[in-house]
Amino acid sequence: MSAINKNPDRDWVKQRLIGASLCVLIVFSLLFLRLVYLQLIKGAEFRRLSQTNCVRLKSIKSSRGLIYDRDNRLVVDNRPAFDLTIVLEDSGPVKETISRLSLLIDEPYEELMDSIEKAGKSAFYTPMILKRDISRDQLAIVEAHQFDLPGIHIDVKPTRHYIYEKTAAHLLGYLGQINRKELESGQYPNVRAGDSIGRYGVEKSFESFLQGKRGGRQVEVDVNGRVIKVLKTVEPVSGKDLHLTLDLILQKRAEKLLAGKDGCVVAIDPGNGDVLVMASTPSFDQNDFIGGISSKKWRALMDDPGRPMNNKAIQAEYPPASTYKILTAMAGLEEQVIDRNSRFHCPGFYKFGNRRYHCWNRHGHGDIDVVDSLAQSCDVFFYQTGEKLGVDILAQYARGSGLGRPTGIRLAHERSGLIPTAAWKKKRFKEAWQAGETLSISIGQGFNLVTPLQMAVFISAVGNGGALYKPRIVKSVRDAKGNVVKAIEPEITGGLPTSKENLAIVKNGLLKVVHGDRGTARRIRIKDIDIAGKTGTAQVFSRKAGEKFDNKKLERTMQDHAWFVCYAPAKNPKIGISVIIEHGEHGSSAAAPVAMELIKTYLGGTNTDIMVLPANEAKQE
Amino acid sequence: MFDRRLIENFDWGFLGVISLICSAGLVILYSAVTAGADSAALHTLLKKQMIWMGAGFVIMAGSLIIDFRELDKLNLFIYVICVGLLISTYLFGQMGGGSRRWLVMGAVRMQPSELMKISLIISLAAVYSDNVVSQEGLGFRNLIKPLILCLIPFALIVKQPDLGTGLLLMLIAGSITFFVKVQKKVIFTLAGIGLAIVPLVWFFGLKEYQKGRILTFLNPDRDPLGAGYHIIQSKIAIGSGMITGKGFLQGTQNALNFLPEQHTDFILSVLAEEWGLVGCGVFLILYLILLFWGLNIAYACRSMFGSILAFGITVMIFWQIFINIGMVMGLMPVVGVPLPLISYGGSSVVTNMVGFGILLNISMRKFTKS
């Protein structure tokens, strides 16, 4: 048996190489034959096609998925926009064509020429946009004069339309043109330069569903660039529709109630975490973003001290103020530092060390138990409860109740809030925790920060018996035929760290906030519906303990934020609400009425002053 | 001590063929970049290409000093460096068109997957020439090591993702292995395994767009907006050249930017449009001469390592030519494989030049036995 090793056997190598050479020859013959076929047999035909350059590619934009509210009311749809385009190579003397066009549609000649220059050099035979979104009248004129306007075309494009303008702007979000970096990232395979993608809100977080797939046509055109034959077509695939948990009527009502104020309302279905309302004011009009927002408008939005571009429900952090007493009570009962019958004496202040910590009620609440302390928001009772618990135990309960961490809602930019501990302060300020600071913390002042959404989830959990839901904004994603592509199920992220018995005590207190004779929110009582809640007044800047200002004399921006969190009906809650009115001063007078109105609208069915298109009609629009 | 015979034996003819193709390549590239819409930007590409070619020639000349048999000893070292470069590309590489293929070192942007081809050829030549192979060919045992050598870079390149280059690597490796000869039962077994694996790869291994490309190739109407349109325009360009072409710089398909990537993957369309069947025929013949010359160098070499090495490099050039031309003529799926010495691209030029350097090296030392 002969073997091949380092010094090859000539014959053997020769035999292998002849085989290889034959393969090369065969392949090259094949390639040559293909050339002969293309250049000789089909040559004349291809020559003709190349001379007229008549095979073009026309892209067909897909339409973005629609967005509905929880009752199938259309909230966001698409409308056709007519863009005027020009193919320079087809338009003969461009200046002549443009001046004719300018006369016909009554647009300044310079502006039209400008847009050609701005578009810069593009690939040949690629249409350039002369003017976006022309009016119906202009459209009619251009179509009637097609033959006088060589190279001018109308490009119909589905464009986003926010039917109710500013409604739920923060939740729905807006679109913006994709930038180069995003294009190159490869994350958006179906998106091309000039296309828009979701930039904010659900438009952003559900981009992959909403975005459709672009289609196009191979067409043969004549010398004027007019299509004479469609060779091949790929139909665009429209995006999937979103069905939100949002209640459009309630949302509009909330926005109306917030009008003229800076603030935020979040309402949640305590039974499943559905976000019924998420309103933040001031707001913005998403339609302004279509086709690119003007820098003037953008500046105005950015410079507005009311921060209209911020979704205050998730991006703003406030001290929870007295609403935090719910938590302090819960922790106190659970840790057994107080019980249902514990009473503390409130003379209007609490002496701690050599300082006096005041109750909001200078006259004092007298001997008071936990239920009445919640109802009347007695500070002294909670100073003492907090003092017995200590900051770290309080923080443990706060975190267990979903505060100080993102709720996990599918919206970008959610803030986590802040729940301080002794270790946190050491790390942050390199200072030891002062026992006095615990007193501030236990009534929700001091370092504590929460978002309105966290409070809504928290109060809903109190109402539903302890389940912390991940707030859900989209119930299902469906295709055009209505088939569910993806269902998003309610999700429980944890439970309140409390027993049913202790929770019942707290709930009793919250009910008395509205329905007790001396409850802080007794003015919002309504017929037939029990509301349980808690008011709060958050200091905008910290003052020394015991220091008292005449709020009326302060500038508006220095005035306190008004909180109200509640759920209703108290027995079997259908809605949990968190309201904050910035610089609204008192929870009871500024925030609580907003919640009451919403409850009336939602549970009482009174919604006379809100204009909403019926579900079917909106769809046809 | 320098051996005079090395100069006497220098393969001037082969160098001549390479230089001829390079010059022609620059002329076609000139044509491709001149007519484009943004010709100023593209002209810098021409300059860059000339610099790369110059650098290629220098590297080629420099590499002649070292005896190619040193590569036999250094093969593992080179292999490890190249795999290292691939891993760094994976970790620090620059993104481009959705994949991570380039490694940036100062002003130089290189594609380590290109160099990997040469490195793998050297390693396989070293492994196979060391083995004592029976007349029936390589058995299963002989294939374990080569297979491992292939799979590591293959996995890294496919991960980039660059399926085209990965498959090219496997084609080259496979060709070399078949050249050395494989036992019949091994062939049948591998074919069987291959048939079983294909569906698995299809369903679990390929990305959607990769499947799309293959389906589009089988049925061009499937993607009339992407590859389908490119192929149509490329075919119009080639076909419209007819027998003698439209003339230098007269190609309309090229000029009007109907061709995608006319300076890289689709450069043959420019050649075919402007020079017609005659020009293409001449080019095919030039390539054919190049390949036969390479095979002849493999034949003339007295060492098994040299023969396999020469064959491997020739086969690398062959596959690139075949795949690229097949692709622009609509005979193959659209994969990003450049046309050797013609397409724009630094890494590709340098890699091919290094390859030719090794061929010249083998050629001038063919009479020295190992």
Find the residue in B nearest to A55 (Cα): B233
Percent above pLDDT 90 for chain B: 27
pLDDT at A545 over 60: no
Per residue in A475-524, pLDDT (tens digit) is 999 998 889 999 999 999 999 999 999 999 999 999 999 999 999 999 89
Per residue in A196-232, pLDDT (tens digit) is 889 899 999 999 899 988 888 877 776 666 777 777 7
B355: helix, coil or strand?
A: helix
> Which helix (H) or strand (E) segment is A112 a member of?
helix A109-119
Pick from A374-383, A573-582, B86-95, B342-351: least confident: B86-95
A489: helix, coil or strand?
A: coil
Question: Which of B133, B228, B272 is opposite residue A39, by nearest beta carbon?
Answer: B272
What per-residue confidence (pLDDT) applies to B227?
67
pLDDT at A43 over 90: no
Q: Assess contact for B221 and B231: CB atoms under 8 A.
A: no
pTM over 0.90: no
Q: Assess contact for A536 and A510: CB atoms under 8 A.
A: no
**Of B89-93, B135-139, B232-236, B324-328, where does the model show the most confidence?**
B324-328
In the block, residue with structure tokens 């959610």: A414
In the block, residue with structure tokens 């302890």: A466
Confidence of residue A170 (pLDDT cuts 50, 70, 90): very high
Q: Which of B268, B234, B236 is nearest to A48 (CA)?
A: B236
A332 or A137: whose pLDDT is higher? A332
Per residue in A148-159, pLDDT (tens digit) is 888 888 888 888
Q: Which of A442, A463, A479, A460 is nearest to A511 (CA)?
A: A463
Please enumerate in sequence order all residues whose Cβ is within 8 A of that of A171, keeping only pairs 6 or more positions apart, or say none.
A201, A202, A244, A246, A275, A278, A311, A411, A473
pLDDT at A81 over 60: yes
C-alpha A445: how far from chain center = 29
Among B residues 142-201, those touching chain A with beta carbons less than 8 Å apart:
179, 181
Question: Quick one: CA torsion of B291, B296, B302, B308, rounded to 10 degrees?
Answer: 30
Among B residues 87-116, those touching chain A with beta carbons less than 8 Å apart:
95-99
Query: Does A123 reach chain B within 8 Å, measured CB to CB?
Result: yes
- In angstroms, what CA-CA distances link A412 with A199, A311, A313, A487, B231? 10, 10, 12, 20, 42
Distance between CA A574 and CA A244 in Å, rounded? 17
Pick from A56-60, B277-281, B346-350: least confident: A56-60
Mutation choice for A interface testing from B138, B175, B238 by most A CBs within 10 A: B238
Neighbour tally for A258: CB within 10 Å = 20
Question: Which of B298, B304, B322 is opposite residue A6, by nearest beta carbon?
Answer: B304
Q: Which of A535, A504, A499, A498 is nearest to A375 (CA)?
A: A535
pLDDT at B250 over 50: yes
Q: Assess contact for A348 and A364: CB atoms under 8 A.
A: yes
Interchain pair B326, A234: CB under 8 A: no
Phi and psi for A156 in degrees, rounded to 5? -90, 130
Distance between CA A27 and CA A228 in Å, rounded? 40
What per-residue confidence (pLDDT) applies to B186?
84
Find the residue in A nearest to B161 (Cα): A186
What's the whole-number average pLDDT of chain A?
86
What per-residue confidence (pLDDT) applies to B332?
81
Q: How far is B131 from chain A (nearest CA, A)?
A: 7
Q: B218-235: string of b/e by CB count within 10 Å (b at 16+)?
A: eebebbbbbbbbbbbbbb
Region A350-375: what's the mean pLDDT?
91
Q: How far is A591 from chain B (nearest CA, A)?
A: 50
Confidence of residue B314 (pLDDT cuts 50, 70, 90): very high
pLDDT at B54 over 80: yes
A286: helix, coil or strand?
A: helix
Question: Which of A7, A25, A232 is opposite residue B304, by nearest beta carbon?
Answer: A7
Interchain pair A55, B236: CB under 8 A: yes
Q: Assess contact for A382 and A315: CB atoms under 8 A.
A: no
CA dihedral sign, ordered B79, B80, B84, B87: positive
Q: How far is B331 from chain A (nearest CA, A)?
A: 8
Phi and psi for A388 in degrees, rounded to 5? -70, -30
Distance between CA A158 and CA A236 in Å, rounded? 12
pLDDT at A326 over 70: yes
Query: Does A50 reach chain B within 8 Å, measured CB to CB?
Result: yes
Q: Which of A582, A510, A503 is nearest to A263 (CA)?
A: A582
Residues of chain B positioned with their CB less than 8 A from the CB of A44? 242
What per-residue confidence (pLDDT) applies to A215?
82
Q: Assess contact for A404 and A452: CB atoms under 8 A.
A: no
Pick from A123-137, B54-68, B74-88: least confident: A123-137
Q: What is the largest CA-CA distance in chain A?
A: 115
Distance between CA B136 and CA A15 in Å, rounded? 14
Interchain pair A24, B229: CB under 8 A: no
Please enumerate in sequence order all residues whose Cβ is within 8 A of that of B183, keeping only pairs 6 or more positions apart, or say none.
B136, B137, B138, B139
Q: How far is B218 from chain A (nearest CA, A)?
A: 17
Query: Does A45 reach chain B within 8 Å, measured CB to CB?
Result: yes
Which DSSP symbol is given to B202? I
Distance between CA A225 and CA A218 in Å, rounded? 13
Query: Does B37 reach chain A within 8 Å, measured CB to CB?
Result: yes
Residues of chain A positioned with their CB less than 8 A from the CB of B244? none
What's the whole-number average pLDDT of chain B?
83
In the block, residue with structure tokens 């050479």: A21
Interchain pair A123, B223: CB under 8 A: no
Question: Quick one: CA torsion of A122, A128, A132, A137, rounded to 10 degrees?
Answer: 170
- In angstroms, what CA-CA distances link B51 with A292, B48, B350, B356? 43, 5, 10, 17
Region A355-364: what's the mean pLDDT?
90
Question: Which of A8, A40, A184 is opposite residue B307, by nearest beta carbon?
Answer: A8
Phi and psi for A308 in degrees, rounded to 5? -60, -25
Phi and psi for A67 in degrees, rounded to 5? -125, 125
Question: Which of B239, B287, B302 is opposite residue A46, by nearest beta carbon?
Answer: B239
What per-residue confidence (pLDDT) applies to A372?
94
Interchain pair A122, B37: CB under 8 A: yes
What per-residue confidence (pLDDT) applies to A581?
94
Q: Which two tokens stand for residue A371?
A: 């239920």
Confidence of residue A567 (pLDDT cuts 50, 70, 90): very high
Among A residues 430-489, those touching chain B with beta carbons less than 8 Å apart:
none
Find the residue in A nearest to B256 (Cα): A124
What per-residue confidence (pLDDT) applies to B266?
83
Interchain pair B224, A215: CB under 8 A: no
Distance between CA B148 and CA B272 in Å, rounded? 41
Strands A484-487 and A74-86, sheet pairing: unpaired
Query: B300 burial class (0-12, 13-18, 19+ CB within 10 angstroms)?
Result: middle
Per residue in B329-345, pLDDT (tens digit) is 888 877 778 899 888 88
Q: How far is B308 from chain A (nearest CA, A)?
A: 10
Which DSSP symbol is given to B205? I
Q: Which of A490, A412, A410, A478 is nearest to A209 (CA)?
A: A478
Residues of chain B positioned with their CB less than 8 A from the CB of A24? 288, 291-292, 295, 318
Q: Which two tokens stand for residue A515?
A: 């329905």
Region A425-437: what's the mean pLDDT?
91
Residues of chain A positioned with their CB less than 8 A from the CB of B292? 21, 24
Per residue in B171-208, pLDDT (tens digit) is 999 999 888 888 888 888 888 888 888 888 777 777 77
pLDDT at A548 over 60: no
Q: How far is A410 from chain B (nearest CA, A)?
A: 26
What per-residue confidence (pLDDT) applies to B97?
58
- In angstroms, what CA-CA distances link A400 with A321, A395, B154? 18, 8, 50
Strands A241-244 and A67-68, sheet pairing: parallel
Among B residues 280-309, those touching chain A with beta carbons less than 8 Å apart:
280-281, 284, 287-288, 291-292, 295, 298-299, 302-305, 307
> Which helix (H) or strand (E) segment is A22 a member of?
helix A10-36
pLDDT at B47 over 60: yes
Interchain pair A125, B181: CB under 8 A: no
Q: What is the largest CA-CA distance in chain B?
A: 64
Distance between CA B295 and CA B317 in Å, rounded? 11
Question: Which of A7, A35, A217 is opposite residue B370, by nearest beta carbon?
Answer: A7
Q: How far is A86 from chain B (nearest CA, A)?
A: 17
Per residue in A297-325, pLDDT (tens digit) is 889 888 888 889 999 999 999 999 999 99
A224 or A112: whose pLDDT is higher? A112
Query: Does B38 reach chain A within 8 Å, measured CB to CB?
Result: yes
Task: Count Cβ–Cβ pairs < 8 Å, chain A vs chain B.
Answer: 171
Distance between CA B355 and CA B360 in Å, rounded? 9
Interchain pair B179, A28: CB under 8 A: no
Q: Assess contact for B279 and B105: CB atoms under 8 A.
A: no
- In angstroms, what CA-CA distances link A468 with A277, A416, A471, B170? 18, 16, 9, 55
What per-residue confidence (pLDDT) applies to A544?
45
Question: Which of A6, A38, A231 is opposite residue B235, by nearest beta carbon?
Answer: A38
Q: How far is A268 from chain B (nearest CA, A)?
A: 40
Phi and psi for A56 in degrees, rounded to 5? -120, 165
Q: Which two tokens stand for residue B105?
A: 């070192």
Query: Does B135 reach chain A within 8 Å, measured CB to CB?
Result: yes
Q: Which of A106, A259, A283, A91 is nearest to A200 (CA)?
A: A283
Distance between CA A484 and CA A357 in Å, rounded? 57
Confidence of residue A608 (pLDDT cuts 50, 70, 90): very low
Among B residues 309-348, those touching chain A with beta carbons less than 8 Å apart:
311, 315, 318, 322, 325-326, 329, 331
Region A256-271: what's the mean pLDDT?
94
Interchain pair A14, B299: CB under 8 A: yes
What per-residue confidence (pLDDT) applies to A320?
94
Interchain pair B239, A38: CB under 8 A: yes
A388: helix, coil or strand?
A: helix
Pick from A154-168, A330-344, A601-615, B167-181: least confident: A601-615
Q: Which of B312, B336, B316 is nearest to B324 (CA)?
A: B336
Question: Which of B209, B224, B291 is opposite residue A234, by nearest beta carbon?
Answer: B224
Q: Assess contact for A497 and A566: CB atoms under 8 A.
A: no
Residues of chain A positioned with their CB less than 8 A from the CB of B299? 13-14, 17
Please enumerate in sequence order all residues whose Cβ is within 8 A of that of A616, keeping only pairs 6 or more positions apart, or say none.
none
Query: Does B247 reach chain A within 8 Å, measured CB to CB?
Result: no
Q: Which of B352, B305, B17 is nearest to B180 (CA)?
A: B305
pLDDT at A563 over 90: yes
Region A55-84: what's the mean pLDDT?
87
Q: Catalytic residue positions of A?
A: 322
* Complex ipTM value: 0.90
Region B13-26: what's the mean pLDDT?
92
Q: How far is B321 from chain A (nearest CA, A)?
A: 10
